[in-house]
Structure 1
């Protein structure tokens, strides 16, 4: 079976690695001419770490990022509403969350794939489903494939080519992300922090010895723009009542490197595949970032899809099985992430969530996290 992957982000690269591991012939096409250092940071949770270990790159990811011993939601002065015990946020194998620069993770995955299997500078134009194969057009180049995997993100052109009724759902929130050239004090060295103010959030973690990944979320109208000359001042004014370390993190970030993006997810699709084309990651089920599981669910998709295809079931049966294996967890993540994000920007919602956090026993919290961190071992 010849497989073509469209999209060279985390989901696409992981899918290519998983398929190669299981002996499939696959090629990946990415529109960018080179993989530049784009994006900010990312938290890779234990469910995704298990897959990366299976792929043989887990230890390199750990070594290239920062292991988080605690993840806390705090008030604006960085005082936790409830201190999270380390054992609650790690899985049964002791895997911890890894905070890492997104570009570093992408580079690790990219370099693990044979060079001849990746083609940069090819923008997807269209596809045509034929009786036995799919014809894919990248402009001047056409490719025939037995299976096409669309891994081209929330604005997927592959998705648009097979489904006509898809749409994004804007959360009413906008996020700024950046990498600050700063070293946090010892108490935050191995911590992931999300700090809540009045309808605003600020999160951060150390990703390298002298770099901190951060994000700032506020309610805002869609498609807003910034003045790069005043951006840092504007952000510091919005978070002026937060702990001074929050302001230091913003101040030590290059303004031109701060990324602004509206927070949206994808309206639930009835199916993720049509004939010989299947979607993975954000192309299939983009989520808001409140649970930190967007990339993780794309990585899980790669693992499940490759293993199910390896069973050599008829293609339609395999793709149906892939969806049935993934639906419950993906829906859980997307729905709860949306709910958490909305409640965190509501006065009443914050009260409710703080109360739940304080009253939920660690044992119950651990059970919930184990469910999120679990992956199927046998297929």
Structure 2
């Protein structure tokens, strides 16, 4: 059995590595001519680390990133609305959230996958057809044939467009800027992940190495037009000038051309993720806004579940994909919907004060229980 994976991002490479681990052959097709994740960071929460440990790459990834002992939401001057113990950001076996540059994570996965699995770059998927129980994949520059096809090509998935042409994105009305700053945080914040709230704007950051800090900022969409008239760095520095000086310093220490801007969207709920011998995974199936920091983590979880289910040889591809969706649907729906509501409330004059009160008065034991459910991975 040969499995084709469209997309060489975090989800696609994790899936190839998972299939490799259980002895199933796969090939990855990536449209980029070189692997070049944008200059931004990612927070790998304990559920993702549990899968990466199973894949045998966790230790290498942890060495390249920064453990976050504390993740807190604060006011603009970095005063937390609620102090949290470190156990809230780790699971029952001590995995903490790890902040790492996305490019380093992707490269680590790529180096491990490419030891035994083919990764074809410069392969832009255009369509596929199924004939004689085989899938013929068409690319801009050629074609190939596989037995099963997995679409791991992200929120703007071309595979999804082929399967479900009426699927659409949901625009949150929020814009996000992200960057990596050459900067050393004060020791107080070295192992912290922080998100500071102002009036209708948010600014978050964490170290991702000894002298690099990943930062992100979120505002309502009307700022896009305003920001387009001046230098991004200049505009953002002014926008967050009333925040703790760290915000302006991080922005100022980032090249304007390296500040990535994007509207925050998620994927409208799909009734199904699969059709015959083709299945969507990761953001292609259930893209979420980043407010819970679970987008990449859920793609990594998908890799674990789909590979283990494919290993059950008594199931047909259609039965496997049905079972995969059944296993994953409840959790990803919860994450997508909760993240959406979080973003809406955080930028609402009524919702934000309500969320602050909820954070302040919710017992830490309740938060810990909620996090443990989020971090749980089923054993096969």
TM-score interval (norm. to shorter): over 0.9
Question: Could you say which residue in structure 1 is the equivalent of 2:56?
Answer: 56
Separation of aligned partners in 1, 2:356 and 2:223: 28
Report the RMSD for the aligned CA atoms in angstroms. 1.4
Residue 86 of structure 1 corresponds to which residue in structure 2?
86
Structure 2 contact 40–179 (Cα < 8 Å) conserved = yes
Alignment counterpart, residue 317 of structure 2, candidates 306, 315, 318:
315
Which residue is 1:373 aligned to? Answer: 375
- Checking the alignment, whether the CA contact within 8 Å between 1:222 and 1:262 is kept in structure 2 is no
User: Retained in 2: the 8 A contact 1:202–1:215?
Assistant: yes
What is the alpha-carbon distance in structure 2 between the residues aligned to residue 123 and residue 221 of structure 1?
Answer: 34
2:107 paired with 1:68: no
**Is the 1:14–1:302 Cα contact (8 Å) retained in structure 2?**
yes
| Equivalence map 1:1-379=2 (5 Å) | 1-114=1-114, 117-221=118-222, 226-227=227-228, 230-312=231-313, 313-378=315-380
- Measured against aligned partners, the alpha-carbon deviations of 1:253-275 in whole angstroms (never above 9, x if no partner) come to 11110000100000000000001
What is the aligned residue count?
Answer: 378
- Over 3 Å counting, the alpha-carbon distance change for 1:262 and 1:70 in structure 2 is same
- CA shift for structure 1 position 301: 0.4
Inter-CA distance 226–123: structure 2 relative to 1 (3 Å threshold)? farther
8 Å contact 1:281–1:297 — kept in the other structure?
yes
> C-alpha distance in 2, partners of 1:34/1:259?
19
1:38 Cα offset (Å): 2.2
Query: How many angstroms does 1:227 deviate by?
Result: 4.9
Shift of 1:39: 3.4
**Distance apart, 1:222 and its partner CA:** 9.5
- 8 Å Cα contact 2:75-2:197 kept in structure 1: yes
Q: Which runs of 5+ in 2 are unaligned?
A: none
Change in Cα spacing, 1:73 to 1:233, as seen in structure 2 (3 Å) is same
Confirm or deny: 8 A CA contact 2:40 2:178 kept in the other structure: yes
Quote the Cα distance in structure 2 between the aligned partners of 1:145 and 1:376.
29
Instruction: Give the ranges of 4+ consecutive aligned residues of structure 1 lying more than 6 Å apart after TM superposition.
Output: none
Q: Deviations over 1:140-169 (max 9, x none)?
A: 321111100000000000001111220000
- 2:282–2:302 CA contact under 8 A, matched in 1: yes
2:227/2:235 contact within 8 Å kept: no
Whether the aligned pair in 2 keeps the contact of 1:228 and 1:255 (CA below 8 Å) is: no
Q: Secondary structure at the match of 1:91?
A: coil
